[in-house]
Every structure is written in structure tokens, then in C-alpha cells.
Amino acid sequence: MNAENKELQMKEETKELLKIVSDFDGTEFKGAYNIREDGGCAGRKSTENITIESKEDKPGINIHVKPGTKGENVFIPACITHSGVDDLVYNDFYIGEGADVTVIAGCGVHTITEEESRHNGIHRFFIEKNARVRYVEKHIGTGATKANRFIDPETDAYLAEGSYLEMDTTQIQGVEKTVRKTRAKLDAGAKLVIREKLMTADDDTAETDFVVELNGEDCGADVVSRSVARGNSRQSFRARLIGNTRCTGHSECDAIIADHGSVLSVPELEAYSEDAALIHEAAIGKIAGEQIMKLQTLGLTEEEAEAKIIEGFLR
């Protein structure tokens, strides 16, 4: 194990991406951090309560949060600054009992040629009893040319009794293909809240796939995806909620389609207990003409109105 700190040294492209994906102010991260740049480590810092160490058997890190740690942040963004990078990383989070922390992840891929670049982040969360985690993840692709930027995140979460995980994930532009897989298992009283925001354009494709096993009594999951599919882009949303006991589950897909975009929403609700209460909602359609008109009556052009509606929808 390597838990040594490493002074922050990174490329300008990385700094720019970090400003977008992790609200980096250009100088420092307030909390523990590990910055991944083009498959390497551009900086790392552990704190008294949060230890970050390299894995010995594969690329990635282990993050240990001491029991009872409150109000601290962990930054673990990954950036790719040029074409031809194929980055695969395994990050495991061990959140001690009663801790309450925020994890800011995120990935930015910057390329200027058509050669592929890919980042696959495989995260596992082991959240102990009564611990709370807020996980914030932003993904973006930037660059001057149409490129092949792929980001495929996978998340496995194990929520112990009374624990809470809130995942706030956003992908707003520039990623040609993404396959997002999230799996979670919940013990008694645990709560999982997922808010996904996704925008695709041109010929992008995006697949999101959630599988949540509600195993403990009175656990609950609320999975909501809001997305916009523009151009010729295609999206699919699958949410499988499995109620094995007395529990609540809600999944929702709200999508706006524009141009020739398409969205497939596939709900799967499986109840193996008569006390499992599972709900799915889906609404897919273009921006309502009345919405555009209302904002036009406030002085916005049709284009400004559409942009404002999408901005709000994906906020």
C-alpha cells in the first residue's frame, strides 16, 4: 500500500477540466484528494480522517474514511488530456460507521484528434452502519474536433443498516459514448437517492443501467434521471428495482427529445414481498410549445427560451 502524499503537479488542460468537473479553484482542493491525469497520479493528499492509498494489484486507489468523520470532502477526479489514452481505474471507498462525507468525482476528457480516448472508472462503496455519503460526479468531453471520447463508469454500492448514499451525476456534453452501470444493495433502513442528468447531441449514445436490490426492511431507493437527447443521439434508461422485503422504490425517467434524438425507457420492477412498494414513472417528449411561448412573452427568443428550459431541466 502507498498512502504517501504527492504534491499537486498537473497540466494546464487538466486544471481546466478540473474547474468543470470538480469546481477546482485553480489552487487547491479543500480536503483529501487524488488527481488522476492520463492514467497517472498528478497529486494526492490524505487527511487525519481520510486515507488514500494506491492499490497493489491493479490500477486505482482505496479510500478509507474513519468512523464518525463529519463534513469532510474527498476529491478523486480523473482527467485525460490527449487522444490515444485508454484508462481503467478501480476505486474502492470504505466509509466508516456514522461518517458523513462528500465525494467529488468526475471525469474530463480533452482530445483534439479523432483517435479514441477512454476512461473507465469502476467504483465500489462499502458504507457502514448509519454513515452518509454524498457522491457528486460530473463528466464532460472537450476539444476542438469531433472525437471519440468514451466514459464508462461503473458503481457498486453496499449500504449497511441505516446508511445513506446520494449520487448526483451529470454528463452534459462532448462524450460520444457512455455506458453507465450502477448496482446497489441495501440493508435495513438504508436509503439510496440517485439524480442523474444527461445531455447527448450529434451521434452520441448513452446507456444508463441501474439495478437496486432492496434487501433490508424499510430501506428505500429513489432513482431519477433527467435527460436531453438532441441531434441524432440515442439514449436508453433502464432501472431495475428489486423489492425483497418491506421497502419503497421509485424510479423516474424524464426526457426531452429534440431534432432526431431518441430515448428508450425500460422500467423493471420486481416485488418479492407483498410489502414492497415500487413505482416507476416516465415522461418523454419535446419541449412544450407553451413553455417556449411563456418565456417569449418575457422577452426571450425561441432559442434563448429553449436553452433556458434545458438549463433548468438539467440543473
Partner 1 sequence: MLELENLSWTTEDGTEVLKNVSLQIPDGKVVVITGPNGSGKTSLAKLIAGIYEPTSGRIVLNGEDITEMGITERARRGISYAFQQPVRFKGLTVSDLIALSSKDNLSRPDMCDVLVKVGLCATDYIDREVDSTLSGGEIKRIEIASVISRHSVLTVFDEPEAGIDLWSFTNLIDVFRDMQKNLNGSLIIISHQERIIDIADELVVITDGEITACGPKDEIMPSLMDGKGCRKMCEMPREGIF
Separation CA 3–CA 53 (nearest Å)? 4
Report the nearest approach of partner 1 to the CB of residue 97 (Å).
Answer: 33
Comparing CA positions, the residue from 191, 62, 73 lying closest to residue 136 is: 73
Of residues 26 and 299, the one with the C-beta less far from partner 1: 299
CB of 298 to partner 1, least distance (A): 5
Q: Distances in Å between the alpha carbon of 113 and those of 204, 206, 241?
A: 17, 21, 40
Choice between 11 and 308, CB closer to partner 1: 308
What cell does 189 get?
Answer: 433502513
CB of 199 to partner 1, least distance (A): 13
> At closest approach, how far in Å is the CB of 313 from partner 1?
4
Give 3-state DSSP helix, strand, coil % of the chain, rounded to 5: 10, 55, 35
Q: Looking at beta carbons only, is 107 or 305 nearer to partner 1?
A: 305
β partners of residue 42: none
As a whole number of angstroms, the distance between CA 287 and CA 306 comes to: 8
C-alpha cell at 65: 474514511
Beta carbon of residue 200, minimum distance to partner 1 (angstroms, whole number): 17
User: E strand or H helix at 312, and its extent?
Assistant: helix 302-313
Toward partner 1, which CB reaches closer, 130 or 171? 171
List residues near partner 1 by CB under 8 A.
Answer: 226, 254, 288, 290-291, 293-302, 308-309, 311-315
Min separation Cβ 167 and partner 1, Å = 19
Smallest distance, partner 1 to C-beta of residue 300, A:
7
Q: Which of 167, 157, 307, 154 is nearest to 224 (CA)?
A: 167
**Nearer to partner 1 by C-beta: 88 or 300?**
300
Cell numbers representing residue 246 in the block:
418491506
Shortest CB 314 distance to partner 1, Å: 7
Report d(CA 18, CA 105) in Å as an integer: 10
SS3 83: coil
CB 204 within 8 A of CB 232: no
Q: Which is nearer to partner 1, 130 or 225 (CB)?
A: 225
> What are 239's three cell numbers?
432501472
Question: What three-state secondary structure class fits 172?
Answer: strand
Nearer to partner 1, 273 or 301 (CB): 301
The smaller minimum CB distance to partner 1, of residues 266 and 283, is found at: 283
